[in-house]
């Protein structure tokens, strides 16, 4: 019994010690939380105080009023010249090349003969097919007479009719082959060098013999924004009243006027570039443009109009759009604006500013809304 009582007392004493130890740990944790809160609060307060001090500290900026200018827009685009039509010449019959009827690099016309492939053999095939058809038709006529005299079964007459049809089809095929033995240009354009010389054997549907590329007219392709596409299509719809002037700068730096036959856009906007291909068909009467050329397209307006403009350095951008910092009584105001096209080193402002406003043209990115500034007028 004494031993049991002693064990109970020791157990109670251990429990009391554990509770005391747990209380100490809890107290330490609580003190840590309070200290963290106090230190964190001081850190946040310091950050706020620093931000307020920055807001109250005067920043020296240069300001300028927006200008009204006569704006004539000029834009440059990188463009590529494309062939509207281009054809690879392939043989459609097999045989030996007997004649090459063009000069490498020459202009050819639609329907012009280019190659002859054993025309005599294919002409002989046509003559043979005609003779065969004539014989079969004569046989059929005799069988018709026998059938009328009831001396020939109907089944044999039907076979004779089928033989006539087969002979006609064979003649048609022979005539098609004869036509294909004389290879003609399917389009007008410039033909490159021949890829097969005279005397070589070519197979039907085999390797290319030459390539013809249409030179007049050509298509000029360039990528524009959807806004620019709409402006271009509307201007071209005006016809002779359009104020848009197109020019091309070619490889040697020469600038030529472009009088388009047609201007049109592709049927969808690229999801990767947010642009849409715009196509200009140009007659290319002097053959200065060759498909595959990269050129600069210069678009300008023949008339000017008054617009409000600001220096490009005065414009900044954030997630909400483009803005300028308007300075009013030495306080900066962030003001979002609607911009038009670029003009020289300035932007056209469609909405958001007047010529009475003063805008910062230096340190725009460092300014915040409501910040005090010390403004100095820019020299003109």
Query: Are residues 240 and 139 both part of a single domain?
Result: no
Residue 13 counted as domain residue: yes
> Do residue 373 and residue 259 come from a single domain?
no
Residue 186 within any structural domain of the chain:
yes
Nearest-angstrom CA–CA distance, 372 and 343: 31
Domain boundary among 179, 213, 247: 213
Q: Are residues 124 and 235 in the same domain?
A: no
Are 230 and 194 part of one and the same domain? no
Residues 249 and 365 placed together within one structural domain of the fold = no
Token readout for 36 is 């963290």
- Same domain, yes or no, for 185 and 209? yes
Residue 19: its pLDDT value, please?
A: 43
Task: Quote the pLDDT of residue 364.
Answer: 87
Whether 78 maps to a domain, the answer reads: no
CB atoms within 10 A of CB 114: 20
Please give the structure tokens belonging to residue 112: 């012009």
**230: CATH:** 2.40.30.170
The tokens for 309 are: 């403009």
Indicate the DSSP class of residue 217. Answer: S
| CATH value at residue 160 | 2.40.50.100
pLDDT for 151 equals: 84
Residue 80 falls inside a structural domain: no
Residue 335 domain flag? yes
d(CA 245, CA 23): 88
For the chain, the residue count is 380
Distance set, CA 76 to CA 72, 146, 165, 246, 295 (Å): 14, 84, 65, 10, 10
Residues 199 and 245 in one domain: no
Phi, psi of 19 (to 5 degrees): -65, -40
The CATH number covering residue 315 comes to 2.40.420.20
Interaxial angle between packed helices 119-148 and 154-181, expressed in degrees from 0 to 180 and rounded to the nearest 10: 160
Query: Per-residue pLDDT for the chain (380 aa), expressed as one digit of tens each?
Result: 455 555 555 555 454 444 455 555 655 656 555 655 555 555 555 555 554 555 456 788 999 999 999 888 788 899 999 999 999 999 999 999 999 999 999 999 999 999 999 999 999 999 999 999 999 999 888 888 888 888 889 888 888 899 999 999 999 999 999 999 999 999 999 999 999 999 999 999 999 999 999 999 999 999 998 888 887 777 767 766 666 788 999 999 999 999 989 888 899 988 888 899 999 999 999 999 999 999 999 988 777 788 999 999 999 999 899 999 999 988 999 999 999 888 888 899 999 999 999 999 988 888 889 999 988 888 76
Residue 183 sits in the same domain as residue 111:
yes
**What residues contact residue 216 under an 8 Å CB cut-off, 6+ apart?**
283, 284, 285, 287
Q: Which residues pair with residue 249 across a beta bridge?
A: 255, 296
- Strands of 95-100's sheet in order across: 182-184, 113-117, 95-100, 201-202
Q: Answer yes or no: is 77 within a domain.
A: no
Where helices occur in the chain by DSSP H, the ranges are 2-56, 119-148, 154-181, 226-237
What was the pLDDT predicted at 122? 96
Q: Is residue 76 part of a domain?
A: no
Of 178, 213, 248, the domain-final residue: 213
Shared domain for 149 and 183, answered yes or no, is yes
Number of domains comprising the chain: 4
Helix (H) or strand (E) holding 68: strand 67-71
In a domain, 135, yes or no: yes
Among 261, 284, 301, the domain boundary falls at 301
| Tokens coding 65 | 């009023």
Cα distances from 289 to residues 216, 219, 249, in angstroms, run 9, 10, 10
| Same domain membership, residue 33 and residue 64 | no
Report pLDDT for 29.
59
Number of H helices, E strands in the chain: 4, 25
In this structure, are 93 and 42 located in the same domain?
A: no
CA angle (329 as vertex; 324, 331 as ends), nearest 5: 50
Structural domain harbouring 52:
1-57
336 and 265 within one domain: no
What three-state secondary structure class fits 263? strand
């Amino acid at each position: 019994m004494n031993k049991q009582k002693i064990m109970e007392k020791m157990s109670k004493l251990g429990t009391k010690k554990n509770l005391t130890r747990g209380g100490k740990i809890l107290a330490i944790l609580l003190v840590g939380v309070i200290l963290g809160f106090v230190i964190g609060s001081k850190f946040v307060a310091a950050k706020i105080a620093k931000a307020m001090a920055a807001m109250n500290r005067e920043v020296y900026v240069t300001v300028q009023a927006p200008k009204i200018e006569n704006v004539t827009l000029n834009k440059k685009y990188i463009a590529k010249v494309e062939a509207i039509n281009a054809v690879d010449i392939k043989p459609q019959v097999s045989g030996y090349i007997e004649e090459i009827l063009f000069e490498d690099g020459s202009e050819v016309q639609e329907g012009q003969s280019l190659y002859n492939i054993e025309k005599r053999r294919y002409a002989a095939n046509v003559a043979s097919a005609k003779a065969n058809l004539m014989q079969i038709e004569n046989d059929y006529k005799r069988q018709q007479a026998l059938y009328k005299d009831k001396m020939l079964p109907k089944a044999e007459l039907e076979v004779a009719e089928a033989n006539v049809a087969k002979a006609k089809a064979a003649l048609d095929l022979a005539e098609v082959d004869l036509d294909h033995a004389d290879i003609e240009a399917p389009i007008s354009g410039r033909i490159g060098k021949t890829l097969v010389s005279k005397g070589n054997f070519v197979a039907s549907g085999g390797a290319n013999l030459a390539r013809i590329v249409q030179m007049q007219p050509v298509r000029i392709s360039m990528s524009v924004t959807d806004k620019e596409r709409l402006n271009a299509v509307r201007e071209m719809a005006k016809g002779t009243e359009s104020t848009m002037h197109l020019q091309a700068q070619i490889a040697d730096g020469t600038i030529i006027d472009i009088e388009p036959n047609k201007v049109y856009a592709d049927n969808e906007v690229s999801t990767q570039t947010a642009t849409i291909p715009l196509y200009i068909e140009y007659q290319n009467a002097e053959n200065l443009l060759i498909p595959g050329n990269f050129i600069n397209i210069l678009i300008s307006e023949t008339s000017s109009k008054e617009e409000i403009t600001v220096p490009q350095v005065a414009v900044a951008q954030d997630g909400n759009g483009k803005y300028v910092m308007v300075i009013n009584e030495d306080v900066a105001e962030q003001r979002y604006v609607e911009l038009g096209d670029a003009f020289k080193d300035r932007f056209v402002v469609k909405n958001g500013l007047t010529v009475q406003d003063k805008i910062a043209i230096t340190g725009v990115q460092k300014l915040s809304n409501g910040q005090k500034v010390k403004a100095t007028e820019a020299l003109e």
